[in-house]
């Protein structure tokens, strides 16, 4: 990862998470939050943990905030890219269309838009080249919702 200071984006409230749902965050006060591991923005990957921290603007911290490093490009239409660090609010539920960190069968994690449908759930990528994942309601657990992104200046930008 680059040694330059990261660029921080905060999700604007009450807007669907797409490339326009972000605002720049400028701050001179930072707080360390746990960097818990990696999340796949693609095919789900086995859950693994990392014991580290990441400094984020204090105004982005909520009660149960943590961070994950993104691997993959299934969320590029939401302005979330491979290598980004996403800031997550730990929650156990999500509304239709919200971008969530999802645990599948207590083993694998992925980052997708969640849709509750008649016969189960659809985990929808924000990349037209990738298909959705269909599962039963009992096969998933919401681990949190995306509320921010940290991107280093050398990383891809929309």
Q: Which helix (H) or strand (E) holds 46?
A: strand 45-46
Find, among 95, 87, 80, 78, the residue nearest to 18 by Cα. 78
112 catalytic? Reply is yes
pTM over 0.85: no
Domain 7-151 has CATH 2.10.109.10: yes
CA pair distance 124, 115, nearest whole angstrom? 7
Local structure of 136: helix, strand or coil:
coil
Query: For 123-155, what is each residue's pLDDT tens digit?
Result: 999 999 999 999 999 999 999 999 888 887 654
The secondary structure element, H or E, covering residue 101 is strand 99-104
When pLDDT is cut at 50, 70 and 90, the band that residue 61 belongs to is confident
Model confidence at 26, in pLDDT bands (50, 70, 90)? confident
Whether residue 13 has pLDDT greater than 80: no
Residue 25 bridge partners (DSSP): 8
Spot the catalytic one: 2, 27, 49, 112.
112
- Among the options 40, 69, 74, 113, which is catalytic? 74
């Amino acid at each position: 990862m680059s040694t330059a200071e990261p660029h921080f984006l905060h999700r604007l409230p009450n807007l669907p998470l797409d490339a326009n749902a972000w605002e720049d965050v400028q701050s001179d006060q930072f707080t360390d939050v746990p960097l818990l591991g990696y999340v796949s923005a693609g095919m789900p990957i086995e859950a693994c943990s990392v014991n580290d921290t990441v400094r984020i603007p204090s105004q982005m911290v909520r009660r149960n905030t943590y961070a994950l490093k993104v691997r993959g490009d299934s969320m590029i239409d939401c302005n979330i890219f491979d290598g980004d660090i996403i800031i997550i609010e730990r929650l156990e539920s999500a509304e239709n269309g919200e971008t969530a960190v999802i645990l599948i069968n207590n083993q694998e994690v992925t980052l997708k838009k969640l849709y509750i449908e008649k016969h189960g759930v659809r985990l929808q990528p924000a990349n037209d080249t990738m298909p959705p994942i269909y599962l039963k309601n009992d096969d998933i657990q919401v681990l949190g919702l995306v509320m921010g992104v940290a991107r280093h200046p050398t990383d891809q930008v929309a």
